[in-house]
Amino acid sequence: MIELKQLTKIYGSKKKMTTALSGLNLKVNKGEIFGVIGHSGAGKSTLIRCINLLERPSQGEVWVGGTDLTKLGKRELQQHRRKIGMIFQHFNLLSSATVYDNVAFPLTLTGTPKAQIQAKVNELLALVGLEEHRGKYPAQLSGGQKQRVGIARALASDPDVLLCDEATSALDPQTTDSILKLLLDINRKFNLTILLITHEMHVIQSICDRVAVIHEGGIVEEGPVTEVFLKPRHFVTREFINRDAAGSAGEEGLKLAASVPHPEWARLVKITFLGAKTYESVLSQVVRETGVNFAILQGTISTIKDVPYGKLTVSFEGDDEKVGRTLALLRERDLDVEVIG
């Protein structure tokens, strides 16, 4: 659905050039929710603005729905942009227009008949839960309501792709969760391809299928969210995970667990469970079979989108052979096992 090939964006003149994106490659499949996470200045806002050519790339190709947008003339590009919806961090609503008129605005620009506009706007206001606010102005709305107007407006032209530029970073946590749930519902109802950029790991963990980590204008890590979140390879990815509230708590718990006195022969192990195994008695079954003693020093259970996962820090006590067999049996049951001390 979206494919970026060797995407490069350079600002400035020859004397003072800034490279925002450098030979970036990325592919987003139809119907998935794809997240791009990065620190401020990493290039993520430039990336999303290049996809609909609000920023024209210095080099490279931008393919959306089988068409290279960089090869289109002005009129053709305008037509293709109608199939790319976009929502913004600061809403970008028309302050002097009502909720109804803000949602209707893209259809008004294209000369859509009034009856069709009315039917479409009514449908979208119901979808985002704003039927009772149709006559209000943006100043009368909460931040979450404003973003719902922005989402409805972005859907007015029946887009194939929805781009989200830090869509929840101006919202409180509770409102963020409600907006993320709405985006997930929209994705499932319309099979809409959603690409969102964020600096919040919680956003990625909540609704994304796959994620790419952007750093200094390039993609440094990419894959399914479960894989990237549970087995981060790049230091930037680990920073995001550790900074997240649950991740930080886990790191502190891990440090505390490592500091707890335990016998010299004990093995300190981190075990990661994914999916249904999170709630199965795998650990107790294995230690009964091998006869080792164990103590759970720290543990968490959470979800990545709809997939449960758990992390345990365990101290195993016993001779090397029995402990080694225990770890081998845990791995045979598709658990991720890492000896940390």
HEC letters along the chain? CEEEEEEEEEEECCCCEEEEEEEEEEEECCCCEEEEECCCCCCHHHHHHHHCCCCCCCEEEEEECCEEHHHCCHHHHHHHHCCEEEECCCCCCCCCCCHHHHHHHHHHHCCCCHHHHHHHHHHHHHHCCCHHHCCCCHHHCCHHHHHHHHHHHHHCCCCCEEEEECCCCCCCHHHHHHHHHHHHHHHHHHCCEEEEEECCHHHHHHHCCEEEEEECCEEEEEEEHHHHHHCCCCHHHHHHHHHCHHHHHHHHHHHHHHHCCCCCCCEEEEEEEEHHHHHCCHHHHHHHHHCCEEEEEEEEEEEECCEEEEEEEEEEECCHHHHHHHHHHHHHCCCEEEECC
Res 22: pLDDT: 94
The CATH code of the domain that includes 28 is: 3.40.50.300
Q: Which of 224, 243, 262 is the last residue of a domain?
A: 243
Q: What is the mean pLDDT of residues 257-280?
A: 75
Question: Could you give the number of structural domains in the chain?
Answer: 2
Lowest mean per-residue pLDDT among 245-254, 288-297, 319-328? 245-254
What pLDDT, on a 0 to 100 scale, did the predictor assign at position 245? 43
Q: Are residues 123 and 214 in the same domain?
A: yes
- Model pLDDT, residue 28: 97
Q: Do 96 and 67 share a structural domain?
A: yes
In terms of pLDDT, which residue wins out, 341 or 176? 176
Task: Tell me the residue range of the domain where 16 lies.
Answer: 2-243
As a whole number, mean pLDDT of residues 324-338 equals 91
- Tell me the pLDDT tens digit for each residue of 90-119: 889 999 999 999 999 999 999 999 999 999
Q: pLDDT at residue 8 above 90?
A: yes
Residue 246 reports pLDDT greater than 80: no
Query: pLDDT for 9-27, tens place per residue?
Result: 999 877 888 999 999 999 9
pLDDT at 16: 86
Whether residues 211 and 269 fall in one domain: no
237 plus 268 within the same structural domain: no
Same domain membership, residue 250 and residue 174: no
Q: Which of 191, 210, 243 is the last residue of a domain?
A: 243
pLDDT for 263 beyond 70: no
* Residue where a domain terminates, one of 216, 243, 270: 243
Q: Percent of the chain having pLDDT more than 90?
A: 65
Query: What pLDDT is stored for residue 318 in this prediction?
Result: 80
Both 301 and 183 in one domain: the answer is: no
pLDDT tens figures, 128-160: 999 999 999 999 999 999 999 999 999 999 999
252 shares its domain with 187:
no
